[in-house]
Amino acid sequence: MAKKRYSRYVVSKWAKTKAIIQSPLVKSSVPETKVMTRHALRELLDKYGMVYIKPDKGTHGNGVMRVERSGGAYRYKAGVRERSFADYNALYESIRRRTGGRRYLVQRGIHLLRHRGRRFDIRVMVQVTPQRTWEATGICGRVGAPDRVVTNLHNGGQVKTVETLLKEHIGPEGRRRLIAGMYRLGLNVASAIRKKYPGVKRLGLDVALDRELRPWVLEVNTCPDPHIFNRLKDKSMYRTVMRYCKADGRL
C-alpha cells in the first residue's frame, strides 16, 4: 500500500475520482460517477438522459462510449458506430459484451461546447515546481474529430488555443476569468490528489465546459503527455511544461 501511495502514477480512474471528490472545492465540479453495473447505468441514464461509460484503466479515449435514452428507446456510440435498442436490457447486454467483464465507470454526460460544429474540451496541466509547490503550467483545447465520441488526439482530435475556442462563446474579460478559474480548479484537484497520493508530480485535467460555461472535471491523468503543448504556435507554455518535466526527473 505504501509503495502504491507514493507512486507517481495512479492508473485507476475510480481511485482518482474517489480522491478528488473528498475536496469540497472540487466535488461540485465532478460529474456524478459510479462503477458501472446494470443498476448504476440505468439510474444515471434515467437521471441525466445521457452518460459516458469508460474503462477504469485505459488511455487515449479507447473504450469510451456515449449512451443516451430517448423516451423508451436507447442507443450507444463507440467510435463512429452507433447502435439502437428498444429496451434497456438489450442495451446493457450489448454493452457488457463490449466491456468483456472489465471494470467500467459510468459518468453523467456533459454536453460539450462546440467549435465549428465539433465538440471540444480543455486540457489543464499542473505540475510540481523545483520549489515543491504546485503551479498551473499550461492550458489548451482539444477539438474532437467529426462523429467521434472523444476528443483525444489519438482518435483524430486537434489542438487549439483556448482563446480560439472560447471567443465565439464569451468576451475577452469573461475568457480571462474562465481560464483563471480552470487554473484554480487544477490546483485544487492537485491538492486533493496529493493528500491521497503524495508521489504524484504532474497532472493533466480533462475539463468540459457545458452550455453555461461551467467547468467539469471529466478525468485526471497522472502521466499526461507534455508534448500536446508543442502543437500550439506559441511555444511558451511548452517550454515551461518541459522545464518542470525535466526538473521532476521524468519525461
Structural domain boundaries of the chain? 2-30+112-247, 33-108
Question: Does residue 219 register a pLDDT over 60?
Answer: yes
- Average pLDDT value for residue range 79-105: 92
Burial class (CB in 10 A: 0-12, 13-18, 19+), 194: middle
pLDDT score of 18 = 97
Q: What are the phi and psi torsion angles at 107 (to 5°)?
A: -135, 140
Q: Kindly indicate the confidence band of residue 154, based on its pLDDT and cuts at 50, 70 and 90.
A: low
Question: Does residue 1 register a pLDDT over 50?
Answer: no
Which listed CATH number (3.40.50.720, 3.30.470.20, 3.60.20.10, 3.30.1540.10) goes with 2-30+112-247? 3.30.470.20
- 17: which residues sit within 8 A by CB, 6+ positions away? 30, 33, 105, 220
Torsion, Cα of 77, 82, 86, 87 (10° steps): -20
pLDDT score of 76 = 93
The alpha carbon of residue 115 and the mean position of all alpha carbons in its chain are separated, in whole angstroms, by 18
Question: Does residue 80 register a pLDDT over 90?
Answer: no
CATH of domain 33-108: 3.30.1490
Q: Kindly indicate the confidence band of residue 164, based on its pLDDT and cuts at 50, 70 and 90.
A: very high
- Average pLDDT value for residue range 186-206: 96
Question: Does residue 43 register a pLDDT over 50?
Answer: yes
pLDDT tens digits along 107-117: 999 998 988 88
The structure's pTM equals: 0.92
d(CA 127, CA 194): 11
Mean pLDDT of the chain: 91
> Comparing C-alpha atoms, which of 59, 93, 60 is closest to residue 76?
93
In this structure, are residues 143 and 151 in contact, taking their beta carbons and an 8 Å threshold?
yes
> Comparing C-alpha atoms, which of 48, 20, 8, 68 is closest to residue 220?
20
* Distance, first Cα to last Cα, the chain: 25
